[in-house]
A and B are shown apart, each in its own frame.
Chain A
Amino acid sequence: MTNPKEHSSSQPECFHCLESIPLGFIQTVEYNNHLQPVCCIGCQAVAESIISSGMTDYYKFRTTAAGKVQELIPEQLLMFKSYDDADIQEDFIHQSGELSEVLLSIEGISCAACAWLIEKQLLTLGHITRIDVNTSTHRAMILWDKSNLKLSTIIEALVRIGYKAYPFQPDIEEAQKQQVAKSYIRRLGVAGIMTMQVMMFAFALYFDMFSDMEDDFEQYFRWISFVLSSPVILYSALPFLTSAIRALKVKQLNMDLPVSLAIFGAYIASTWATVFNTGEVYFESICMFTFLLLLGKYLEFRARLKASEFTSNLQKLLPLTARIVEGFQEQIIAAKKLKLNDIILVKPGEIIPADGLVMEGKTTIDESMMTGEHEAVAKVVNDQVYAGTTNHDGVVKISINQLGTHTLINQIVTLQNKALASRPKLAEITDKVAQWFVATLLVVASITAIYWYGIDPEQAFWITISVLVATCPCALSLAIPTALTCSVANLTKKGVLIKKAHVLETLTKIDSIAFDKTGTLTEGCFTIKKSHYLNDNYDGQTILALASGLEFHSQHPIAKAFNFDTSSIGLFDDISVETGFGIKAIYKGQTIAIGKNGWFETLKLPVQVVLYINEKAIAAFELEDKIRDRADKLITYLKNKQFNTHLLTGDPSQAGIALAKKLSFDDVKIGCSPEQKQKHVANIIKQNHIIAMVGDGVNDSPVFNTAHLSIAMESGADISKNTADIVLLNSDLSSIEHLIEISHKTRRIIKQNLALSLIYNSAILPLAAMGMVQPWMAVIGMSASSIIVITNSLRLLKPF
């Protein structure tokens, strides 16, 4: 555990968020009778409200810094109010008797101290019966009295201590996963507790071999072991049996079949031995086996559950509310109540709730979540706008022409779901091994039974059972889950989330990789490529400071390229945005403006942005979307490994071809719609290639389900992260290299594990068939082979 306060450098840090304090900002808060500096008014307000309500423990025990607090604008407060609307609430509030239950997804939870802070803060509101904050899913379940406390009040209370919250509805798939996780824990608990008891009696029975025990006691202990192990076998081990039967029904043999044969075969034989007081009992072995196997499977499942929880916490694509205009009145209603031809008003920064035509006003719209292109698109009267895109700078009235499933965004989602149903699947190595194993086992067991039946019918049954127990595929069935768990843990540490079980195995078979351009190979945001200074009276530093100071007030994606130090300049007056041109203001009596080339004076330079002072061009900037640092290295690596590389971009310009040439891609397709991307990938698959797709936008999500494997960037759209098999948390392309390396290493370890366990099983099989194996020998052999396999898997945890 590291204390964030220890990271302090010579520069003063904000007491709340630990970020550096901008020069000239000298606000403080009082904590433990000392004045502590803060970096902004937002952090100050939050820190004061935390300290004044007596929750200073938060600062004492937190393990990570709090997020920087953003001040709320009145528009957002209005949004919170809309959560109190009954129409909107029915989507995410469940009524249980008098009380209501809601799940809030909370941004900014970073450690256990946050959970404590949130619980404390909300309980002071009263009328809350129960609150449960989960720090790994970043959600809070709240059970409260709706009639006395509004949901918006709860959300506002969270904002006051620096957390952004919004109501959340988990999808069906995730709810099912949670159920599976719970049932794993229950089965594991029963197996663990009961195995301990059974082992205790087993030891008593072991000692019986060295010193004679009274027959009554021996029989009594056997009965007790039977009673205690029955729940383990009939409850905890049941999923193995059902899975084996399910596979048999579709005429397949899977790994669960030999497992169930061993567990249930030995259980029935031991029960027989107990009831009729003959033979041997194996209760402790099968209980231990069940427990270990469940543990391995649960750990693997949990690693994937955590990854999928991370991405399912994402905001809905479309806003819940819309601002409808009727006559001259505007009114906020639930977005799902909108009808065709309704007129809605969309303000700057808002997300458009439905497809429609612009009726009035002009604006620029960020359609990046659809197209992946971050350059905003200008829209005037009669232009089509799409649900889910973000309005930038103008206020527009929109007449709705498509709703619900007919909107473009929902059509993309439908496309994606269709692709999922027909997704190619590769046979998994486990099942292949299992088929051989089961076949051999059954043949040997039946030969043993028949052979011994001829020689000694009395012994035949017991020797056959000992064959089943001795060949119990304990190490074999641990070989794969343990290796996968260790690799997934290693990858998670590197910021790579694995969401599907097949990923590591599929990765080793891949021979082609397709990339999206904007946001994947490039950073998806603009940086200054070249600056032209046109007036000697202003030096570069002042020009950049002025440009940054002005662009700070702009929502346009280009504005992000200008984030230079503005401490040398003063404040702007009369800031105004001119839609389609840029932004201007008065500074020290002069009109200063920044915007597109040709706003005032047209320059014959290939520049996108020009800075004007009193309508004279002072400086001009060439911008570009920078290629990610590691892109070059990654493509070279893939070339060396004989991968085919494809570039599929939605951008129709020549930039894609230029980029493909620069990075020497094998193949490039430009101007692709989501369907065309799917088609290209499907074609590649038809040529017997196994392909992975790397992308980030909404337009990539359908193709994600067409490719064998999909990788999304953390910086990408929520929906693509939700669909992808793998999410790169640091959006670092070199992770892909690491991913491929580790998948090959995992495969090597799995093969070693399988070989080791098969050696043990094939060595003991003939001995058991000859009736030469004592139960204790089988137990020692089984444990030793399992330990060897687990230790081998642990090697994957080592970073390399």
Chain B
Amino acid sequence: MSIIYVLIPIAIIFVIIAIAVFFWAVKSDQFSDLDKQAHSILFDDTEIKNKTNKKKSENNDDTSSL
């Protein structure tokens, strides 16, 4: 059981790290708007790339047809 003399202080260090991360998050305004963050998972970042690729290929087609 004496292992807890080591494990508990290590756990406390983790807690301190968690609090440090939390303070950083508060400082960088991550708690100022909770609505937006909740929805952000819905949006894809990839769609723009697909579109531009498509456009590029269209452009290529255009030039080839010229």
Question: Are A54 and B48 within 8 A (Cβ)?
Answer: yes
Shortest beta-carbon distance from A170 to chain B in Å: 13
Shortest beta-carbon distance from A108 to chain B in Å: 15
Q: In the assembly, what is the distance between CA of A54 and CA of B45, in Å?
A: 10
B contacts, CB < 8 Å to A:
1, 4-5, 8, 11-12, 15, 18-19, 22-23, 26-27, 29, 31-33, 35-36, 38-40, 42-44, 47-48, 50-52
Given contacts A61-B42, A197-B15, 4 further A-B pairs with CB under 8 A are A53-B48, A54-B51, A116-B40, A186-B23
A532: CB under 8 A from chain B?
no
A538: CB under 8 A from chain B?
no
Question: Are B44 and A193 within 8 A (Cβ)?
Answer: no
Contacts of A554 in B (CB 8 A): none
Question: Are A189 and B35 within 8 A (Cβ)?
Answer: no
A676: CB under 8 A from chain B?
no
Contacts of A185 in B (CB 8 A): 26, 31
Question: Are B43 and A57 within 8 A (Cβ)?
Answer: yes
Please classify the interface of chain B as helix (H, G, I), strand (E, B), loop, or mixed, using the class held by over half of its residues. Answer: helix
A585: CB under 8 A from chain B?
no
Contacts of A112 in B (CB 8 A): 35-36, 38-40
Nearest A residue to B45 via CB reads A120
Nearest A residue to B46 via CB reads A54
A242: CB under 8 A from chain B?
no
Stretch at the interface among A127-135, A152-160, A404-412, A710-718: A127-135
With A53-B48, A57-B42, A116-B39 as contacts: A189 and B22 at CB distance below 8 Å: yes
Contacts of B18 in A (CB 8 A): 193
Q: In the assembly, what is the distance between CA of A337 and CA of B33, in Å?
A: 37
Contacts of B12 in A (CB 8 A): 197, 224, 227-228
A36: CB under 8 A from chain B?
no
Q: In the assembly, what is the distance between CA of A133 and CA of B12, in Å?
A: 36
Q: In the assembly, what is the distance between CA of A197 and CA of B8, in Å?
A: 10
A56: CB under 8 A from chain B?
yes
Question: Are B33 and A57 within 8 A (Cβ)?
Answer: no
Interface residues of A in 220-256 (CB under 8 A from B): 220, 224, 227-228
Shortest beta-carbon distance from A706 to chain B in Å: 34
Question: Are B47 and A54 within 8 A (Cβ)?
Answer: yes
Q: In the assembly, what is the distance between CA of A224 and CA of B15, in Å?
A: 13
Nearest A residue to B49 via CB reads A54
Q: In the assembly, what is the distance between CA of A217 and CA of B27, in Å?
A: 38
Q: In the assembly, what is the distance between CA of A629 and CA of B45, in Å?
A: 49
Shortest beta-carbon distance from A114 to chain B in Å: 9
A365: CB under 8 A from chain B?
no
Contacts of B15 in A (CB 8 A): 193-194, 197, 228
Question: Are A135 and B33 within 8 A (Cβ)?
Answer: yes
A182: CB under 8 A from chain B?
yes
Q: In the assembly, what is the distance between CA of A672 and CA of B14, in Å?
A: 66
Question: Are A132 and B29 within 8 A (Cβ)?
Answer: yes
Question: Are A54 and B26 within 8 A (Cβ)?
Answer: no
Contacts of B42 in A (CB 8 A): 57, 61
Q: In the assembly, what is the distance between CA of A283 and CA of B31, in Å?
A: 29
Question: Are B22 and A135 within 8 A (Cβ)?
Answer: no
Contacts of B33 in A (CB 8 A): 115, 133-137
Interface residues of A in 171-230 (CB under 8 A from B): 178, 181-182, 185-186, 189-190, 193-194, 197, 217, 220, 224, 227-228
Contacts of B11 in A (CB 8 A): 197
Question: Are B43 and A135 within 8 A (Cβ)?
Answer: no
Q: Closest 9 interchain pairs by CB? A: A112-B39, A54-B51, A54-B48, A134-B33, A115-B36, A189-B22, A61-B42, A112-B36, A116-B43
Shortest beta-carbon distance from A622 to chain B in Å: 48
With A57-B47, A220-B5 as contacts: A135 and B36 at CB distance below 8 Å: yes
Q: In the assembly, what is the distance between CA of A34 and CA of B31, in Å?
A: 39
Interface residue tally of chain A, by bracket?
35 or more
Question: Are B22 and A193 within 8 A (Cβ)?
Answer: yes
Question: Are A54 and B50 within 8 A (Cβ)?
Answer: yes
Q: In the assembly, what is the distance between CA of A61 and CA of B38, in Å?
A: 12
Q: In the assembly, what is the distance between CA of A134 and CA of B31, in Å?
A: 10
Digitize A107-146: 1 where CB-to-B-CB distance is under 8 Å, 0 elsewhere: 0000111011000100010000000111111000100000
Contacts of A193 in B (CB 8 A): 15, 18-19, 22
Contacts of A53 in B (CB 8 A): 48, 51
Contacts of A111 in B (CB 8 A): 35, 39
Shortest beta-carbon distance from B29 to chain A in Å: 6
Shortest beta-carbon distance from B15 to chain A in Å: 6
Shortest beta-carbon distance from A66 to chain B in Å: 16
Q: In the assembly, what is the distance between CA of A221 and CA of B52, in Å?
A: 61
Interface residues of A in 12-63 (CB under 8 A from B): 53-57, 61
Question: Are B36 and A182 within 8 A (Cβ)?
Answer: no
Q: In the assembly, what is the distance between CA of A666 and CA of B38, in Å?
A: 52
Nearest A residue to B27 via CB reads A182
Q: In the assembly, what is the distance between CA of A136 and CA of B4, in Å?
A: 46
Q: In the assembly, what is the distance between CA of A115 and CA of B1, in Å?
A: 53
Contacts of A141 in B (CB 8 A): 29
Shortest beta-carbon distance from B63 to chain A in Å: 21
Nearest A residue to B29 via CB reads A132
Nearest B residue to A114 via CB reads B36
Shortest beta-carbon distance from A99 to chain B in Å: 16
Q: In the assembly, what is the distance between CA of A7 and CA of B32, in Å?
A: 31
Q: In the assembly, what is the distance between CA of A598 and CA of B4, in Å?
A: 97
Shortest beta-carbon distance from B20 to chain A in Å: 11
Show 21 residue pairs from A and B whose CB-CB distance is below 8 angstroms, ordered by the A residue: A53-B48, A53-B51, A54-B47, A54-B48, A56-B47, A57-B44, A112-B39, A113-B39, A113-B43, A115-B36, A134-B29, A137-B32, A182-B26, A189-B22, A190-B22, A193-B15, A193-B19, A197-B11, A197-B12, A224-B12, A228-B15
Most B C-beta atoms less than 10 A away, residue of A56, A185, A227: A185
Q: In the assembly, what is the distance between CA of A282 and CA of B9, in Å?
A: 21
Contacts of A116 in B (CB 8 A): 36, 39-40, 43
Nearest B residue to A109 via CB reads B36
Q: In the assembly, what is the distance between CA of A156 and CA of B33, in Å?
A: 25
Shortest beta-carbon distance from B24 to chain A in Å: 11
Nearest B residue to A115 via CB reads B36
Contacts of A197 in B (CB 8 A): 11-12, 15
Nearest B residue to A186 via CB reads B26
Contacts of B50 in A (CB 8 A): 54
State which of A57, A61, A124, A135 has its C-beta within 8 Å of the C-beta of B35. A135
Shortest beta-carbon distance from B26 to chain A in Å: 5
Contacts of A182 in B (CB 8 A): 26-27, 31
Question: Are B39 and A224 within 8 A (Cβ)?
Answer: no
Q: In the assembly, what is the distance between CA of A61 and CA of B42, in Å?
A: 7
Q: In the assembly, what is the distance between CA of A135 and CA of B51, in Å?
A: 27
Q: In the assembly, what is the distance between CA of A137 and CA of B23, in Å?
A: 22
Contacts of B48 in A (CB 8 A): 53-55, 120, 124
Contacts of B51 in A (CB 8 A): 53-54
Contacts of B5 in A (CB 8 A): 220
Shortest beta-carbon distance from A104 to chain B in Å: 15
Contacts of B19 in A (CB 8 A): 189-190, 193
Contacts of B39 in A (CB 8 A): 61, 111-113, 116
Contacts of A227 in B (CB 8 A): 12
Nearest B residue to A224 via CB reads B8
Contacts of B35 in A (CB 8 A): 111-112, 135-136
Shortest beta-carbon distance from A61 to chain B in Å: 5
Shortest beta-carbon distance from A174 to chain B in Å: 13
Contacts of A134 in B (CB 8 A): 29, 32-33, 36
Question: Are B26 and A189 within 8 A (Cβ)?
Answer: yes
Contacts of A224 in B (CB 8 A): 8, 12
Q: In the assembly, what is the distance between CA of A155 and CA of B9, in Å?
A: 53
